[in-house]
Amino acid sequence: MIFLCFCLLYFIDFAVNGVYILTMNLNDDLARLSDQELYRRCQEYGKNARMWLRKFAALLPEVARRELYKKYGFGSIGEFAGMIAGMSGDAVAEV
């Protein structure tokens, strides 16, 4: 349980702080890519994003059952999913 909490806090910190650093590094390299390579990366990253979003969504029923979102200061499962994974309220409701 402690490991899960640590991972969740790390993920939240990365989502808030790490994306900015990652974006800064990517912008430098992106200008050097060919159109074909840029398109290939778009496809790859889009596919991976969908896969990870599905994996995250599969966790939500257990998060809701345990009311884990409350433990970390979120007002609802929708707020939890929106802040951590960028899921819309409609997407959360479908889960």
Count of C-beta atoms within a 10 Å radius of residue 45: 10
Q: Quote the pLDDT of residue 28.
A: 72
Cα separations (Å) of 24 from 13, 17, 66, 71?
Answer: 17, 11, 37, 32
- Residue 79 makes CB contacts below 8 A (sequence gap 6+) with 69
Tens digits of residue pLDDT in 8-45: 555 555 555 555 555 556 677 899 999 999 999 999 99
CB 60 within 8 A of CB 79: no
Global model pTM greater than 0.75: no
Q: C-alpha 65: how far from its chain's center?
A: 20
Tens digits of residue pLDDT in 47-80: 999 999 999 999 999 999 999 999 999 999 999 9
